[in-house]
Amino acid sequence: MKIASVTPIFADRFLYVKVTTEDGLTGIGESGAWGQYEASAAAMVKCGEYLVGRDARQIEHHWNVLQRANHFTGMAIMGAISAIDIALWDIKGKALGVPVYELIGGQMRHKVRLYGHVKARTKAEMLDEALLRKEQGFTALGHLNPFLDEDYDRYFRPHAKKMEEAVGVVRDLREALGPDVDLCIELHRRLNPAEAVTFARSIEPYFPMFFEDPLKPTGVDAMSWVADHIPVPIATGERFFNMHLFQSIVARRGVQFLRPSIGLCGGITGAKKIAALAEVNDMEVVPHNPLSPLNLIAELHLDATIPNFAIQEYPSSSKNLHGTTQLPGREMFTDFPEPSSGFLDIPTAPGLGIDFVPDVEKRFPKINRPLDMRPHLDGSVIEQ
């Protein structure tokens, strides 16, 4: 079970790793450091220099060495370590002939509840897309940005107008969908603490399931202050790249739904530790994944085993309004399950349960992600 190679793979707009053993087993994983893939790929190569020749089964040992050897981490490096960790669990499951969830505690559940994505540039488009997702069987909808996903042009709205229009979006969604669909409100870090308090109090009558990332992820104290002043539960953590960042905000009670991204927080090993941290603090886990089906599958194995799982992000494509539930990158993988009535079955094949189609990197050439940030009307930059 010695590792023979660790190879980064750029395919479409995603970054993967393939780990191969000397006896021919392969495992695959995905980096969640989507803003810095080139740096993350370089970190995979660096990690591979250590891993080649070592036992693929010693996952916890490697996980610690890769993070603690030099004590330099960060998102790009943790994206690499997370991808490698997922791949090693994939190898171990294949070697033993069992799905990954059997190796990390066994099944608590055999399928998971999903929330489908809704993306829109106008309120009318959001309502249409939300109703379509309800018809498709989703009982929860997310990526619901009441401030809308407008073009990257110069932005300005007076405070009262911004609040009134966004509250109107949430109100109209609840009226259109009724009580049978949960609303997972996504703010994309667009508010300051005062705006977050005003907005959360205003949407309380519409029973949002959670209020995600109202502030920039760097402000643990600010997020905790907001949590103390609003009646709506906060969900956050998608930009956190280790369990210690989660511990800081958990200790301050600044979150109710923890959102680890399995391709960023330390892979399956790291996510399992974060879920335990949430469990002992009576908090629930909503795994984050706006990327490819590989990270989603890895998260399904986590979801299967933890008692405090709440709901799984399902990044359904919203490029058109014609009934698709296709995932971005779905065509790059074999044997991927399809959702039914708002739930997704957990794969039972050995390892992760999916694999790449042949020649994936040739069939799906790399798509670059340029740096870009939205300007304010006055020329400064703002979150989007």
d(CA 78, CA 261): 11
Q: Where are the domains of the chain?
A: 3-98, 102-352
Specify the higher pLDDT residue, 250 or 338.
250
199 to 150, 163, 231, 259: CA distances (angstroms): 19, 6, 11, 21
Band of residue 87 on the pLDDT scale cut at 50, 70, 90 = very high
Architecture of domain 102-352: Alpha-Beta Barrel (3.20)
Q: Are 189 and 213 within 8 A, CB to CB?
A: yes
d(CA 332, CA 55): 29
pLDDT of residue 62 exceeding 70: yes
Band of residue 151 on the pLDDT scale cut at 50, 70, 90 = low
Per-residue pLDDT of 114-148, as tens digits, reads 999 998 889 999 999 999 999 999 999 999 999 98
Per-residue pLDDT of 1-19, as tens digits, reads 999 999 999 999 999 999 9
pLDDT of residue 324: 63
Per-residue pLDDT of 185-236, as tens digits, reads 999 898 999 999 999 999 999 999 999 999 988 789 999 999 999 999 999 9
d(CA 302, CA 308): 11
Q: Which helix (H) or strand (E) holds 210?
A: strand 210-212
pLDDT of residue 233: 97
Per-residue pLDDT of 267-285, as tens digits, reads 999 999 999 999 999 999 9
What do you get for the CA distance between the two ends of the chain, in Å?
45
Amino acid in position 324: T
pLDDT of residue 344 exceeding 70: yes
Largest Cα span, the chain = 64
d(CA 113, CA 287): 12
pLDDT of residue 374: 78
Which CATH number, 3.40.50.10420, 3.30.390.10, 3.40.50.1260, 3.40.50.300, labels domain 3-98?
A: 3.30.390.10
Average pLDDT, stretch 67-82? 93
Lowest mean pLDDT among 70-79, 163-172, 215-224, 324-333: 324-333
Average pLDDT, stretch 223-250? 96
pLDDT of residue 321: 44
Mean of pLDDT over the chain: 94
Per-residue pLDDT of 152-178, as tens digits, reads 677 788 999 999 999 999 999 999 999
